[in-house]
Amino acid sequence: MIKELLAEASQKMDQAVEHTAGEFGTVRTGRANPGLLHRITVDYYGSPTPLQQIAGFSVPEARMLIVQPYDKSSINQIERAIQEADLGLNPSNDGNIIRLAFPALTEDRRKELIRVVRHLAEEGRVAIRNVRRHTKDDIESLEGDVSEDDVRRGEKELQVLTDQHVERIDELLAHKEEELLEV
């Protein structure tokens, strides 16, 4: 029973780490990254549609991202959605594709983005700790059905799991900070 609770906790913690990594992908660095556009929705024939469903992306060079709509008539709606997303990018289109030039980040903007990334990492750690707390409560509620030693052993294993997942978030954070500081 404790093993099942630990396996479920591990799975939830993995999801928290993956979510945090996904959130890191939406933070703009100096390089072109299609992940930045994954949250954008476009008003496509009256219904909000995720941008990746109506356009393809390519990165021909480090600071240039090309958005190629599958339907050329939607290019103006896509351009408007990118402008309204407030990413600090200025789209330009030639009737077939939209080019997004990524300007170099200023030092102040880098520091601000590092603060944002650290906040996202802390949210990930909090999610992991919440999973630990709920699982610990579940393990402790089994105390009458299983021995006290098994409960303590389960709590120790849970703490090891928590530490491993928090460490993974810290590694992701260090990598993202390094990426942001890269000139």
| CATH number of 15's domain | 1.10.132.20
Q: Is the same domain home to 7 and 69? A: no
Residues 6+ apart with CB under 8 A from 9: 131, 132, 135, 158, 161
CA-closest candidate to residue 10, choices 171, 123, 128, 121 = 128
Give the gyration radius of the chain's Cα atoms. 22
- Domain boundary among the residues 101, 125, 160 is at 101
* CATH number of the domain that residue 86 is part of: 3.30.1360.40
Do residue 120 and residue 168 come from a single domain?
yes
Tell me: do 50 and 20 sit in the same domain. Answer: no
Q: Which residues of 122-149 are buried (b: 16+ CB within 10 A; e: fewer)?
A: eebbebbeebbeebbebbeeeeeeeeee
The residue range of the domain holding 59 is 34-101
Digit-by-digit pLDDT tens for the chain (183 residues) are 889 999 999 999 999 999 999 888 877 776 777 877 888 899 888 899 998 899 999 988 888 889 999 988 889 899 888 888 877 778 888 888 999 888 777 888 888 889 989 999 999 999 999 999 999 999 999 888 888 898 899 999 999 999 999 999 999 999 999 888 876
Count other Cβ atoms within 10 Å, centred on residue 40. 18
